[in-house]
């Protein structure tokens, strides 16, 4: 019987070997001689589950980007000002209640039909009624007055409308239905060739594109978790992949780390009113505390400790945007911070923690549970504050309670949108409470300046007003400091050697489609 | 005929009751989960640049603030009419999302399930028949190690070994990177399913093997086995004549009960291998607060597990004709 048993074992091993063997053959290389295609890995959350339909948020949302498959009226330029794609001119009426945009007349959809102002009006009326992700409450309706002119009737003045126009892809009225997002037709640089849901998107260059012909003829985008994405790089099956700072010290043969500057910031809200009910904080209500925190935090050290060096210090919610005021930048000055605290009456107690009028300089810094980066930033901030005599403990909270808790305690937030509306919503008061939405703060002057910015008829004027809201002589947001900004997180990618990734504009919050905004201008050496 | 009808209706009733309970528990869990669907799907940053009117619109869409009981009743009413609703994330009907995903998952699950069953049974029988021997010790330690190995970790190890070092198998997905759908062959699909199926099978083997081994030891120590030995039967003959036959029934139960485990395991495995199956959709729905989809996936999985157990019940009669009279009324 022994022989039989051995035979059984051998055949079992043979079976296993066969099983492994049938996977043999040539490994599927991403680069088989083709020099005009590229394989890019993004996180699974980047997949537009609802399809490539602007009405369902394609191009918009958390991570704004160019829709690639469709054309837009405007685009954001390298310095995040406004340029033209389909538009040839745009003008707001003096009261800001209508926008008139003329478009080029030589553009065709990839099914051969011409793109007209009717398509533009149809697109905006559609996204307005669906309004599933992006905000279109400022738009009343869009109307095509002839083939190349479209008029937007607004519900309120909205000077930064061109930033909204930069993310809305124009869809063809004749080929639009509920399922458009599954097989989109556009007039952009690329055509959606194939979408294997939950796995990959294959884009090919639009041969009839009205602009410069794309240099990359095929773009394959994979959606993978961080570990799998790294494995794809190590096995050489991807050309470019997102990664996290924690992988920054790894070496991969044939790849180098590409670091992209961002406005993807992290900052703390400091409730600027004393505690009353469930709103406010008695410690951070003191301006001296807020100023001392802003001056006394060593942001460079934080970047080394938490981000392995892949970040830049942040001083506002909109660093380096056209509406950013450079006067908000304050150099690290520990001595001045200590002096401010002392002269405001915050004296060190027996345990080294400062006390003023019976109030201990102590509070909790919140972070969203599961966000290790924000947790690390909270911990590093708490450590640094301790040396200033401020006792901060840290606590993780779920998003179901985070918004309410942040009305009383500082929390680590992440922002960074390509629109000044963010600045507006963080610092402007709400009608019902008279305080700002995310953290209690009110300054009538700031409110008035930002309202004026929204009402102004041209962008340049509005930029100046947004800047004035941040700093106006000795006043403004950066004097009140209801928020203190910590870092801008750089976005990291593994890029295959030989791949030239075109110059990137500052990325917004989140690791997503922004990297391929200009994939048509990438090339292989 | 009448008896069969009775059997069928009794089981259908059982299944309906099961699905009702499962859906109620699942809905309760979803309603107490700390996930804020707006936060998860729209994102804090996007919400930050929106007007309050827009946020209110979105809250309506995602069902924030709606009383859970009211939501449940509305949902259950639709399901009874055969409408599983529309997925909030995918914006397609839940039935079509599940249909697409199940197609991908199903053969992964079937391969893994068949592999783990046959290999597990074989190993368990060998180990039990040679209790204390070298094979027993090897198989036992193998089973104990894999039983305590987290499946996703094993998946990562296999991924590193076969895809990154040896480069013989793809790193994930169910089709080759950048290949046109019409050019994808069956062989391509098989190659992409090997690693996920193998991971599921390896972790699934241990429980089947260990249980079969226990049962086999019982059989080998029984009086009739002793009698057979005294009669001069060889070990192999006892195994074949008494062991396998008696072990088959519990093994079958176990095998069909493991349908649930395999489905559960696939949720994590599909994440690691970027495999577009039901598990991936379940995770997306769970983390994104997509209640209709999550409930749909839960119901389908519960149904599959129930059908697995039902199949075991039916097969008892086939394997052991003595049970026919007793088991099925």
Residue A385: both structure tokens together: 């504050």
Q: How does pLDDT run across A246-256, given as a tens digit for each residue?
A: 888 889 999 99
Q: What is the pLDDT of residue A328?
A: 93
Q: What is the pLDDT of residue A19?
A: 43
Please state which of the ranges A182-191, A201-210, B247-256, B318-327 shows the lowest mean pLDDT.
B318-327
- Residue B79's pLDDT band (boundaries 50, 70, 90)? confident
Please indicate whether, in this complex, the C-beta atoms of A508 and B45 are within 8 angstroms of each other.
Answer: yes
Please indicate whether, in this complex, the C-beta atoms of B284 and A49 are within 8 angstroms of each other.
Answer: yes
Count chain A–chain B contacts defined by CB atoms under 8 A.
183
SS (H, E, C) A54-76: HHHCCCCCCCCCCCCCCCCCEEE
- For A264, nearest residue in chain B (alpha carbons): B45
Q: How does pLDDT run across B125-181, given as a tens digit for each residue?
A: 888 888 888 889 999 999 999 888 888 889 989 988 998 888 888 888 888 888 888
Q: How does pLDDT run across B179-226, given as a tens digit for each residue?
A: 888 888 888 888 888 899 889 888 888 888 888 898 888 888 888 888
Q: What residues 22-81 of chain B have any CB closer than 8 A to a CB of chain A? A: 34-36, 39-40, 42-46, 48-54, 57-58, 61
Q: What is the pLDDT of residue A518?
A: 93
Beta carbons within 8 Å of B223's beta carbon, 6+ residues apart = none
Beta carbons within 8 Å of B259's beta carbon, 6+ residues apart = B109, B113, B304, B305, B308, B309
Name the residue among A204, A98, A226 with its Cα closest to residue A157.
A98
Q: What is the pLDDT of residue A2?
A: 47
Q: Which of B44, B57, B171 sits opposite A228 (nearest CB)?
A: B171
- For B54, nearest residue in chain A (alpha carbons): A135
Name the residue among A313, A503, A318 with its Cα closest to residue A417.
A318
Please indicate whether, in this complex, the C-beta atoms of B44 and A413 are within 8 angstroms of each other.
Answer: yes
Q: What is the pLDDT of residue B238?
A: 83
Residue B329 has pLDDT above 60, yes or no: no
Q: What is the pLDDT of residue B322?
A: 73
Please indicate whether, in this complex, the C-beta atoms of A225 and B162 are within 8 angstroms of each other.
Answer: no
CB atoms within 10 A of CB A91: 11
Q: What residues 145-174 of chain B have any CB closer than 8 A to a CB of chain A? A: 156, 159-160, 162-164, 167-174
Min distance B225 CA to chain A CA atoms (Å): 19
Contacts of A414 in chain B (CB under 8 A): 44-45
Please indicate whether, in this complex, the C-beta atoms of B271 and A200 are within 8 angstroms of each other.
Answer: no
CB atoms within 10 A of CB A190: 26
Q: What is the pLDDT of residue A5?
A: 52
Average pLDDT on B233-242 reads 82
- For B191, nearest residue in chain A (alpha carbons): A23
Q: What is the pLDDT of residue B324?
A: 61
Cα–Cα–Cα angle for B212, B218, B223, nearest 5°? 145
Q: Which of B45, B49, B274 sits opposite A199 (nearest CB)?
A: B274
Please indicate whether, in this complex, the C-beta atoms of B281 and A198 are within 8 angstroms of each other.
Answer: yes
d(Cα A317, Cα A267) in Å, to the nearest integer?
8
CB atoms within 10 A of CB B59: 15
Q: What is the pLDDT of residue A29?
A: 41
Residue B80 has pLDDT above 90, yes or no: no
Share the mean pLDDT of chain B. 85
> What's CA A332's distance to the chain center, in Å?
27
| Strand runs labelled E in A164-320 | 190-196, 200-205, 218-223, 240-243, 255-260, 265-269, 311-313
- For B268, nearest residue in chain A (alpha carbons): A225
Q: Comparing A171 with B76, which gets the higher pLDDT?
A: A171
> What's CA A190's distance to the chain center, in Å?
23
Residues of chain A with pLDDT under 50: 1-2, 9-10, 12-32
Preferred mutation among B40, B55, B57, B91 to probe A, highest tally of A CBs within 10 A = B91
Please indicate whether, in this complex, the C-beta atoms of A61 and B57 are within 8 angstroms of each other.
Answer: no
Q: What residues 416-455 of chain A have any CB closer than 8 A to a CB of chain B? A: 416-417, 419, 421-422, 424-426, 430, 437-438
Asked if A152 and A124 count as a contact pair (C-beta separation under 8 A), the reply is yes
- Residue B1's pLDDT band (boundaries 50, 70, 90)? low
Rg (CA), chain A: 27
Strands A218-223 and A37-42: parallel
Q: What is the pLDDT of residue A17?
A: 43
Name the residue among A108, A114, A117 with its Cα closest to residue A89.
A117
Min distance B101 CA to chain A CA atoms (Å): 9
> What's CA A205's distance to the chain center, in Å?
26
Min distance A351 CA to chain B CA atoms (Å): 37
Please indicate whether, in this complex, the C-beta atoms of A509 and B45 are within 8 angstroms of each other.
Answer: yes
Q: What is the pLDDT of residue A102?
A: 96
Please indicate whether, in this complex, the C-beta atoms of B54 and A27 are within 8 angstroms of each other.
Answer: no
d(Cα B102, Cα B87) in Å, to the nearest integer?
15
Please indicate whether, in this complex, the C-beta atoms of A197 and B175 are within 8 angstroms of each other.
Answer: no
Please give the model's pTM, rounded to 2 decimal places. 0.85
Residue A166: both structure tokens together: 């930069």
Name the residue among B33, B285, B27 with its Cα closest to residue A399.
B33
Residue A246 is given by DSSP the state: G
CA dist A51 → A223, A258, A325, B284 (Å) = 14, 29, 38, 15
Say if A237 is an interface residue toward chain B (CB within 8 Å).
yes
Q: What is the pLDDT of residue B244?
A: 83
């Amino acid at each position: 019987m022994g022989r039989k048993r051995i035979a059984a074992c051998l055949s079992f091993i043979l079976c296993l070997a066969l099983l492994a063997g049938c996977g043999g053959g040539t490994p599927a290389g991403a680069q088989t001689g083709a020099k005009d295609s590229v394989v890019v890995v993004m996180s699974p959350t980047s997949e537009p589950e609802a399809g490539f339909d602007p009405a369902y948020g394609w191009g918009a949302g958390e991570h704004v980007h160019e829709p690639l498959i469709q054309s837009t009226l405007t685009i954001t330029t390298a310095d995040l000002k406004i340029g033209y794609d389909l538009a040839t001119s745009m003008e707001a009426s003096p009261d800001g209640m209508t926008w008139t945009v003329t478009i080029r007349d030589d553009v065709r959809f990839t099914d051969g039909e011409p793109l007209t102002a009717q398509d533009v009006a149809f697109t905006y009326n559609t996204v307005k009624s669906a309004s599933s992700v992006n905000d279109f409450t400022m738009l009343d309706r869009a109307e095509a007055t002839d083939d190349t002119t479209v008029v937007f009737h607004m519900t309120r003045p909205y000077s930064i409308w061109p930033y909204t126009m930069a993310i809305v892809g124009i869809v063809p009225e004749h080929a639009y239905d509920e399922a458009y997002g599954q097989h989109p037709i556009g007039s952009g640089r690329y055509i959606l060739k194939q979408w294997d849901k939950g796995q990959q998107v294959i884009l090919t260059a639009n041969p009839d594109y009205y602009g410069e012909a794309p240099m990359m003829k095929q773009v394959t985008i994979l959606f993978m978790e961080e570990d799998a994405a790294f494995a794809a790089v190590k096995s050489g099956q991807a050309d470019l992949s997102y990664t996290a700072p924690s992988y920054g010290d790894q070496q991969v043969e044939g790849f180098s780390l590409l670091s992209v500057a961002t406005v993807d910031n992290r900052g703390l809200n400091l409730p600027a009113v004393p505690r009353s009910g469930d709103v406010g904080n008695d410690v951070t209500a003191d301006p001296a505390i807020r100023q001392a925190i802003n001056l006394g935090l060593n942001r460079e050290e934080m970047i080394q400790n938490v981000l392995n060096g892949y970040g830049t210090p942040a001083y506002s919610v909109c660093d380096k945007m056209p509406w950013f005021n450079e006067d908000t930048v304050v150099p690290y000055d520990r001595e001045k911070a200590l002096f401010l605290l002392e002269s405001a009456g915050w004296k060190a107690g027996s345990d080294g923690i400062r006390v003023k009028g019976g109030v201990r300089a102590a509070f909790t810094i919140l972070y969203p549970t599961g966000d290790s980066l924000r947790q690390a930033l909270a911990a590093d901030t708490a450590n640094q504050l301790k040396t200033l005599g401020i006792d901060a403990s840290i606590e993780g909270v779920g998003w179901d309670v985070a918004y309410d808790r942040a009305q009383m305690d500082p929390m680590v937030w992440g922002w960074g949108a390509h629109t000044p509306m963010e600045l507006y919503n963080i610092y402007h008061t709400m009608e019902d409470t008279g305080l700002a939405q995310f953290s209690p703060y009110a300054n009538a002057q700031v409110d008035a300046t930002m309202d004026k910015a929204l009402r102004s008829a041209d962008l340049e004027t509005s930029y100046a007003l947004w800047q004035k809201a941040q700093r106006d002589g000795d006043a403004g947001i950066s004097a009140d400091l209801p928020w203190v900004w910590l870092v801008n997180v750089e976005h990291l990618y593994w890029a295959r050697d030989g791949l030239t990734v075109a110059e990137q504009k500052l990325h917004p919050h989140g690791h997503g489609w922004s990297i391929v905004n200009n994939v048509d201008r990438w090339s292989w050496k | 005929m009448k008896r069969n009808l009775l059997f069928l209706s009794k089981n259908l009733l059982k299944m309906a009751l099961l699905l009702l309970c499962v859906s109620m528990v699942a809905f309760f869990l979803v309603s107490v989960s700390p996930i804020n669907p707006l936060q998860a799907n729209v994102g804090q940053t996007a919400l930050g640049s929106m007007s309050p009117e827009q946020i209110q619109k979105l809250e309506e869409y995602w069902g924030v603030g709606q009383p859970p009981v009211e939501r449940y009743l509305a949902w259950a009413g639709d399901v009874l009419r055969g409408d599983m609703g529309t997925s909030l994330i995918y914006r397609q009907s839940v039935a079509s999302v599940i249909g697409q995903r199940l197609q991908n998952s199903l053969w992964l699950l079937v391969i893994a399930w068949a592999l783990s069953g046959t290999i597990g049974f074989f190993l368990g029988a060998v180990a039990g028949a040679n209790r204390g021997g070298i094979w027993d010790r090897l198989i036992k330690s193998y089973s104990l190690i894999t039983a305590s190995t987290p499946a996703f970790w094993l998946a990562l190890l296999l991924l590193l070994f076969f895809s990154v070092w040896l480069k013989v198998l793809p790193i994930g997905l169910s089709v080759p990177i950048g290949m046109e759908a019409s050019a994808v062959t069956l062989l391509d699909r098989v190659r992409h399913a090997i690693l996920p199926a193998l991971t599921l099978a390896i972790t699934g083997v241990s429980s089947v093997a260990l249980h079969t081994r226990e049962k086999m030891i019982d059989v080998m120590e029984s009086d009739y086995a002793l009698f057979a030995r005294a009669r001069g039967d060889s070990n192999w003959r006892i195994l074949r004549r008494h062991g396998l036959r008696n072990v088959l029934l519990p093994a079958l139960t176990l095998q069909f009960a493991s349908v649930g485990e395999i489905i559960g395991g696939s949720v994590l495995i599909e994440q690691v291998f970027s495999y577009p199956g039901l598990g991936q959709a379940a995770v997306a729905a769970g983390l994104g607060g997509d209640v209709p989809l999550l409930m749909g996936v839960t119901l389908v999985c519960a149904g599959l597990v129930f059908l697995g157990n039902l199949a075991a019940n039916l097969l008892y009669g086939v394997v052991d004709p003595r049970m026919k009279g007793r088991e099925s009324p």
